[in-house]
């Protein structure tokens, strides 16, 4: 189940006899390479202990919405931000009803409400409850909201009835869940991504740099890897680890980034310039530390313009699909559109870096994807999620 590798999966366990099978689900998820966190409802704890799922998942099991300690450790919003997908197995008729009506009266329903990614349910209930119109209406409503419903299966039930309502077996659920990830859309494609800042040395102890944590570029690299692409990541100095499965090339200066890009661009299908490249560097590097002059109250540095990497990639013969970012503090869309045209790009991604809650350093971003024919706004969300949507958008352009 390749598609589950490196995924953050939030498993919801609700109160039905099939809850004991959730231990097996956690085991399969972990074996498939996913990180797993579990939320249990109060009634689920009557069927299986949190300790069992904690030992298998390797993470503290969350149970309470209003528990100060849990909220401080990883509350419902953090859990929703962390997850790539939610799987609720078993999903009782009660939980299905709550989700369908948008109620949030426990940790699982509240987290699901706060989550804007894919949610899958493996229903488990008595056959009469399953056939009930209200349950079926709730499920139909959830399907229109793109919830995926796995099963249920048919057979003898714990209560002795025979009919539809048994939860599918853990392995069947895992197979359906794994194939629900549309993750190989960039399979066979190679992508070059730049990230982070560049550092332009003034003397051995000082440099000029731009603000960038690397979070946006590294999330894009991760999303591209998960979409099946082969990824080369060229990055300036940052404090986060690069994704494991990429060809990682660390650089420091804008000149080094330019050279690394030009060296690796051949044969790439997509180039994404996320890096905050210094537009100017000191014209001369002082071999010795510049001394503070007691007699002068100022110091003049001469700066020279760096080559525009993005523009250079756009001008290449056999160029890839070229994507730039526009980091703007005002006239966001107008300035981004000018960059799209002036730099000869296929796509520019506009982000407002004057807003402290998005852009630089933040875990979130809010962007508009602009081509010559289309504008697509992506609301404020975690950079990991926004990266998936950006990669999906690019994949439609390069695979059609
Ligand atoms: O790293 P984070 O903290 O997560 O922050 C992410 C980000 C805000 C840095 C990122 O989302 C972003 O906006 N990156 C682009 C930063 C930037 O330099 O923007 P710009 O508008 O100045 O440049 C436009 C484009 O030209 C960018 O794609 C840039 O990589 C490219 N460029 C700029 C100068 C240069 N010499 N060569 C280039 O290729």
| Residue range(s) of every CATH 3.40.50.1950 domain in the chain | 2-179
pLDDT reading at 353 higher than 70 = yes
- Per the CB < 8 A criterion, the answer to whether 193 and 217 are in contact is yes
pLDDT in tens, 70-88: 666 677 888 998 999 999 9
276 lines ligand 1 (CB under 6 A): yes
Q: In the numeric block, which tokens belong to residue 396?
A: 């439609």
Q: Please state, rounded to an integer, the average pLDDT across all residues of the chain.
A: 93
Residue 111, Cα to own-chain centre: how many angstroms? 17
The angle, 0 to 180 degrees and rounded to 10, between the axes of the packed helices 215-226 and 383-399 is 50
pLDDT reading at 231 higher than 80 = yes
Dist. CA 338–CA 215, nearest whole Å:
25
Q: What is the pLDDT of residue 73?
A: 63
**Domain spanning 2-179, CATH architecture:** 3-Layer(aba) Sandwich (3.40)
Dist. CA 324–CA 338, nearest whole Å:
12
Q: What is the pLDDT of residue 395?
A: 94
Averaged pLDDT, 244-258 = 97
Averaged pLDDT, 358-387 = 93
User: Cα(276) to centroid of ligand 1, in Å?
Assistant: 4
89: buried, middle or exposed (CB in 10 Å: 19+, 13-18, 0-12)? buried
327 lines ligand 1 (CB under 6 A): yes
Dist. CA 297–CA 295, nearest whole Å:
7
Q: What is the pLDDT of residue 34?
A: 94
DSSP 45: G
- Does residue 267 sit in helix, strand or coil? coil
Higher pLDDT, 185 or 72: 185
| Residue range(s) of every CATH 3.40.50.10300 domain in the chain | 190-283+300-399
Determine the residue of 215, 261, 277, 363 to mutate for testing ligand 1's pocket, defined as the one with the most ligand atoms within 8 A of the Cβ atom. 277
DSSP 100: H
Q: What is the pLDDT of residue 294?
A: 87
DSSP 286: -
Q: Name which of 108, 123, 100, 93 is nearest 42 in CA terms.
A: 108
pLDDT in tens, 10-46: 999 999 999 999 999 999 999 999 999 999 999 999 9
pLDDT in tens, 234-247: 999 999 999 988 99
pLDDT reading at 1 higher than 70 = no
Averaged pLDDT, 168-173 = 96
What one-character-per-residue DSSP string does 253-265 give?
Answer: SHHHHHHHHHHH-
Residue 340 falls in which region: left (phi positive, over 0), alpha (psi -120 to 50) or beta: alpha
> Which H or E run includes 21?
none
User: Cα(30) to centroid of ligand 1, in Å?
Assistant: 37
- Does residue 210 sit in helix, strand or coil? coil
Tell me phi and psi for residue 377, to 5 degrees: -90, 130
Q: What is the pLDDT of residue 70?
A: 63
Which ranges in the chain belong to alpha helices (H)? 22-31, 50-57, 68-74, 76-82, 93-101, 107-114, 127-131, 133-144, 170-179, 215-226, 254-264, 309-314, 332-342, 383-399
Beta-bridge partner residues of 337: none
Up-side HSE of residue 23: CA atoms within 13 Å toward CB?
A: 13
Pairing of strands 199-203, 206-209: antiparallel
80 lines ligand 1 (CB under 6 A): no
User: Residue 360 CB: number of other CB atoms within 10 A?
Assistant: 19
387 lines ligand 1 (CB under 6 A): no
368 lines ligand 1 (CB under 6 A): no
pLDDT in tens, 263-280: 999 999 999 999 999 999
User: What dotted CATH number matches 190-283+300-399?
Assistant: 3.40.50.10300
* Total-model pTM: 0.68
Which residues are catalytically annotated?
A: 159
Dist. CA 177–CA 156, nearest whole Å:
24
User: Cα(328) to centroid of ligand 1, in Å?
Assistant: 9
């Amino acid at each position: 189940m390749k598609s589950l590798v490196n995924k953050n999966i939030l498993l919801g366990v609700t109160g039905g006899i099939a809850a004991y099978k959730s231990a097996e689900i956690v085991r399969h998820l972990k074996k498939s390479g996913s990180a797993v966190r579990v939320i249990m409802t109060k009634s689920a704890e009557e069927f299986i202990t949190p300790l069992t799922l904690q030992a298998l998942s390797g993470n503290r099991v969350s149970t309470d919405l209003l528990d100060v300690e849990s909220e401080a450790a990883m509350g419902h919003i953090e859990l929703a931000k962390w997850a790539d997908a939610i799987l609720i197995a078993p999903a009782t008729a009660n939980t299905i009803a709550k989700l369908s009506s948008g109620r949030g009266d426990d940790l699982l329903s509240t987290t699901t409400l706060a989550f804007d990614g894919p949610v899958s349910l493996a229903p488990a209930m008595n056959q009469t409850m399953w056939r009930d119109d209200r349950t079926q209406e709730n499920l139909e409503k959830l399907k229109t909201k793109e919830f995926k419903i796995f099963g249920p299966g048919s057979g003898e039930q714990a209560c002795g009835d025979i009919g539809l309502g048994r939860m599918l077996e853990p392995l069947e659920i895992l197979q359906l869940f794994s194939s629900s990830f549309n993750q190989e859309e960039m399979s066979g494609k190679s992508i070059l991504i730049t990230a982070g800042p560049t550092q332009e040395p003034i003397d051995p102890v000082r440099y000029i740099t731009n603000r960038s944590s690397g979070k946006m570029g590294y999330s894009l690299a991760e999303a591209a890897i998960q979409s099946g692409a082969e990824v080369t990541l060229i990055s300036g100095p940052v404090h986060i680890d690069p994704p494991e499965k990429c060809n990682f090339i660390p650089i420091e200066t804008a000149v080094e980034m330019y050279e690394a890009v030009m060296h690796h661009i051949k044969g790439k299908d997509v180039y994404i310039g996320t890096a905050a490249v210094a537009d100017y560097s000191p014209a001369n590097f002082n071999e010795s530390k510049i001394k503070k002059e007691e007699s002068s109250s100022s110091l003049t540095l001469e700066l020279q313009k760096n080559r525009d990497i993005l523009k250079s990639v756009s001008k290449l013969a056999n160029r890839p699909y070229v994507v730039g970012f526009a980091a703007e503090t005002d006239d966001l869309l107008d300035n981004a559109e000018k960059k799209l045209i002036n730099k000869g790009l296929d796509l520019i991604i506009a982000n407002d870096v004057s807003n402290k809650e998005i852009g630089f350093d933040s875990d979130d971003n809010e962007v508009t994807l602009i081509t010559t024919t289309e504008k697509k706004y992506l609301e404020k969300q975690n950079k990991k999620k926004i990266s998936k949507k950006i990669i999906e958008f690019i994949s439609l352009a390069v695979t059609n």
